[in-house]
A and B are shown apart, each in its own frame.
Chain A
Amino acid sequence: MNELCALPPPPQSRAWEALRRLALSSGLALVLVFMVSVLVSDEPLKAFRAFSLGPLNSARALATLLEAAAPLMLSATGALVAFKAGHFTLGGEGQVYAGAFMAALAGAWCPEGSFGLLAAVMAGVLGGTLVAAPAAAGKRWAGADVLLVTFLLSQAALHVVDWAISGPFRDAGNNLIAMDPIPQASLLPRLVHNLPLTPVPLVAGLVSVGVWIFLSRTRCGTMLALYGRNSRFAALQNFPVRSFEWAPIIFAGAMHGLAGAALSLGSNGTAVRGISGGLGWNAIGAALVAGGEPLAVVPAAVLFSWLDSGARQAAIFTELPPDAAMIIKALVIMAATAKPAYTRLKALLGGRKRT
């Protein structure tokens, strides 16, 4: 059938759309938290209050929340760039784990101090990149399916790093299955005394701003976004499609590796077995809830961390299982990404527009 008729009204700016999506997601999360509290806990109001306010009830709690969200901001930004380029990578988990492992390795072996810290950070980035590299090369030279290859490589990386941490690189003197401790001087420094706040949240914020500038204010970023939505069109417009085939995947790997390094160089002080803890998967969720907007990744990551932290707090005060956070996260992701539901919810809360 034929065309539209009169001119539609101008669309909302993407920033506003992203903020509204986040606000709706947060509101939905609160509603779900309350419903779960009612269903599972004997003291639903107490559970609800602990869940929602617990992570925010002091400067230390807020700092902890930001600190926990920071690696997720980094990995979600990486995932977002890959998604923008049309590469749906599922390799985040293995890339984070490899990054954590390499950072711990370098941190423990290199001379302690700033040099050790820098070496550990770079090693972490390298670790994530190495896990992503075969998928990038496969896409560039063989047209490999990024989704499948990144997932398989990630699974392999998880097993290999697990073996490495439990086996040849295990700290025999530690009752935890973990690597050698990183010297204190090589760990991430505290920004404020007595608060568990390192530079990572700031770095993550800067990275997401940088990505936003790249995507919205540079020619290459515009080309990348056009390529991500129609690679054939981009090739016909003479865009550097060969670079776009691999570079975003590598960038995502580097960001996940950096996130892994942040885990090892933070309060853990080394790489503990299982340290990635689902970060790679949460990154996909956060990128989706952010609606593809780099600046929205920061609040989306904070939302996810708040859910995790809140569930832990609620579990302390009530019978609410900590896994409740996972269920709520899944529902929030579904709602934020299900367009019909989102459109209807938006219409319900925003009212209908008229020309």
Chain B
Amino acid sequence: MKRIVFLALAVAGLWSCGGTGGSPAKPASVAVFVPGVASGSPIYEMLVSGAARAVEERPGTEFKVIEGGYDQSGWLDALKAIAASGEFDLIVTSNPALPELCVKVAAEYPEVRFFVADAYMDGQRAIHTVLYNQLEQGYLVGYLAGALSVHKGSNRAGLIAAQRYPTLDRLIQPGFEAGLLAADPGMKLEYREIGNWYDANRAAELAASLYNDDVEVILAVAGGAGQGVIAAAGSAGASVVWLDGAGYQLGPDVVVGCATLAQDRLVYERVSALLDGKDLWGVADIVGATDGYVGFDRDGPAYKALPESLRAEMDTVMAKLAEGKPAFTLDSF
């Protein structure tokens, strides 16, 4: 019994030495929740860098990055834990699935606010969202894929996705198909699904089977698993188009085009605005090419190696899109 009492006292002593966890919230404290793993995922890397830059410009603001891993069933508990810690006023995250989870957390922790990029939910006072018009993003790489496929003598292009989700179904894929058809009305789309965001081997198998079947270009919407598509393209001497940036670095020889989202800029701007007290709560914005948040990265080595004519076509497409042509109107989602 004496030993148990001694142990309890020792533990109490350690507890009392542990710092000020659990103290009342400071004026500004930001947690970035990555629903996955940041490394290797451009969209999440930009999320973190954008938020970090906003916080750096406001000395005294607490900042922490927490990764939630790939298990979607654990994201709700992870968000709750962040809110429950009492340390953060603002949770910044990015993923179309997150607003629904944030609503549940906000119901239990009304003192915490959420900014979710790459998502859409309006009317929730604790949440501000910004959605990218990924119809345009899909259109850009779709046009390039179509034009390059025709150039190489193929009338089929591939789309390999991690899973079905509304943004893919209603924005990315339709945009991609529109781009293919704009490049050549005879283009056909081959869709394959991996089942998760991390199985690169499975992605490689699916890509290889498409490349062996006369497909020359594949769009990978698969997070970390996309590296498998790049590997297969390298083996087949084929090409990949990419979304959200950093694709060129992952496969400089095979990634021929990258439609980008200015996630870092967006997150920086919105987090800065929120930290400065701007009332965006309950607002759901949609941004696109006309705002400069959807674009195309011309600096890839494989892109530069494409025929001049193709690149000239892409320049025209980009210029027109920036003018709103074609008009991919998206007022809500």
Residues of A whose CB lies within 8 Å of any CB of B are 23, 27, 30, 34, 43, 45-46, 48-50, 52-54, 57-58, 60-61, 64, 68, 166, 170, 172-178, 194, 196, 267-269, 272-277, 309, 312-313, 315-317, 322, 348-350
Alpha-carbon distance between A274 and B104 when the two chains are bound, in angstroms: 19
Q: Which residues of A contact B101 (CB under 8 A)?
A: 176
Alpha-carbon distance between A204 and B163 when the two chains are bound, in angstroms: 36
Q: Which residues of B contact A272 (CB under 8 A)?
A: 72-73
Q: Which residues of B contact A277 (CB under 8 A)?
A: 71, 73-74
Given A45-B17, A50-B21, A54-B21; A317-B77 close (CB under 8 Å): no
Q: How far is the CB of B67 from chain A (nearest CB, A)?
A: 9
Q: How far is the CB of B99 from chain A (nearest CB, A)?
A: 9
The residue on A at minimum CB distance from B168 is A175
Contacting pair B86 A175 (CB below 8 A):
no
The residue on A at minimum CB distance from B163 is A177
Contacting pair B14 A34 (CB below 8 A):
yes
Contacting pair A316 B74 (CB below 8 A):
no
Q: Which residues of A contact B163 (CB under 8 A)?
A: 166, 177
Q: Which residues of A contact B100 (CB under 8 A)?
A: 174-176
Q: Which residues of A contact B84 (CB under 8 A)?
A: 54, 58, 60-61, 64, 313
Q: Which residues of B contact A49 (CB under 8 A)?
A: 14-15, 17-19, 21
Q: Which residues of A contact B7 (CB under 8 A)?
A: 27
Q: Which residues of A contact B191 (CB under 8 A)?
A: none
Beyond contacts A53-B21, A58-B86: 4 other A-B pairs, Cβ-Cβ < 8 A, are A64-B80, A175-B95, A176-B101, A268-B76
The residue on B at minimum CB distance from A50 is B21
Contacting pair A175 B97 (CB below 8 A):
yes
The residue on B at minimum CB distance from A175 is B97
Given A175-B95, A312-B78; A274-B19 close (CB under 8 Å): no
Per-residue 0/1 for B247-268: is the Cβ within 8 Å of any A Cβ (1 yes, 0 no)? 0000000000000000000000
- Is B64's CB within 8 Å of the partner chain A? yes
Given A175-B166, A273-B73, A274-B73; A43-B19 close (CB under 8 Å): yes
Question: Given A34, A172, A268, which contacts B169 in the complex, CB threshold below 8 Å?
Answer: A172
Question: Given A61, A177, A349, which contacts B4 in the complex, CB threshold below 8 Å?
Answer: A349
The residue on A at minimum CB distance from B169 is A172
Contacting pair A274 B72 (CB below 8 A):
yes
Contacting pair A316 B87 (CB below 8 A):
yes
Alpha-carbon distance between A173 and B169 when the two chains are bound, in angstroms: 10
Residues of B whose CB lies within 8 Å of any CB of A are 1, 3-4, 7, 11, 14-15, 17-19, 21-22, 31, 64, 66, 69, 71-78, 80-82, 84-87, 95-97, 100-101, 104, 108-109, 119, 163-167, 169, 195
Q: Which residues of A contact B96 (CB under 8 A)?
A: 175
Question: Given B3, B87, B109, which contacts A317 in the complex, CB threshold below 8 Å?
Answer: B87
Contacting pair B166 A317 (CB below 8 A):
no
What are 21 residue pairs bridging A and B, where the CB atoms are less than 8 Å apart in the complex? A34-B14, A46-B19, A49-B15, A50-B21, A52-B11, A53-B21, A54-B21, A54-B85, A64-B80, A173-B166, A174-B97, A174-B165, A175-B96, A176-B101, A267-B76, A267-B80, A272-B73, A273-B72, A277-B71, A312-B81, A316-B81
Q: Which residues of A contact B95 (CB under 8 A)?
A: 175
Q: Which residues of A contact B104 (CB under 8 A)?
A: 267, 269
The residue on B at minimum CB distance from A52 is B15
Alpha-carbon distance between A43 and B119 when the two chains are bound, in angstroms: 35
Q: Which residues of A contact B81 (CB under 8 A)?
A: 309, 312-313, 316
The residue on B at minimum CB distance from A163 is B195
Q: Which residues of B contact A317 (CB under 8 A)?
A: 21, 64, 85, 87
Alpha-carbon distance between A236 and B42 when the two chains are bound, in angstroms: 69
Contacting pair A46 B18 (CB below 8 A):
yes
Contacting pair A172 B164 (CB below 8 A):
yes
Q: Which residues of A contact B167 (CB under 8 A)?
A: 175
Question: Given A48, A276, A312, which contacts B14 in the complex, CB threshold below 8 Å?
Answer: A48
Contacting pair A316 B71 (CB below 8 A):
no
Contacting pair B108 A194 (CB below 8 A):
yes
Q: Which residues of B contact A322 (CB under 8 A)?
A: 69, 78
Contacting pair B166 A172 (CB below 8 A):
yes
Q: Which residues of B contact A194 (CB under 8 A)?
A: 108
The residue on A at minimum CB distance from B80 is A64
Q: How far is the CB of B206 from chain A (nearest CB, A)?
A: 16
Q: Which residues of B contact A174 (CB under 8 A)?
A: 97, 100, 165-166
Contacting pair B14 A274 (CB below 8 A):
no
Q: How far is the CB of A236 from chain B (nearest CB, A)?
A: 45
Q: Which residues of B contact A273 (CB under 8 A)?
A: 72-73
Alpha-carbon distance between A172 and B100 when the two chains are bound, in angstroms: 14
The residue on B at minimum CB distance from A30 is B11
Question: Given B3, B14, B15, which contacts A349 in the complex, CB threshold below 8 Å?
Answer: B3
The residue on A at minimum CB distance from B66 is A316
Q: Which residues of B contact A48 (CB under 8 A)?
A: 14-15, 18
Q: How far is the CB of A200 from chain B (nearest CB, A)?
A: 16
Q: Which residues of A contact B165 (CB under 8 A)?
A: 174-176
Q: Which residues of B contact A61 (CB under 8 A)?
A: 84
Alpha-carbon distance between A170 and B195 when the two chains are bound, in angstroms: 13
Given A64-B80, A274-B71, A277-B74; A315-B15 close (CB under 8 Å): no
Contacting pair B85 A313 (CB below 8 A):
yes
Q: Which residues of A contact B74 (CB under 8 A)?
A: 274, 277
Q: Which residues of A contact B85 (CB under 8 A)?
A: 50, 54, 313, 316-317
Given A267-B104, A269-B104, A274-B71; A176-B97 close (CB under 8 Å): yes
Contacting pair A45 B72 (CB below 8 A):
no
Contacting pair B15 A275 (CB below 8 A):
no
The residue on A at minimum CB distance from B18 is A49
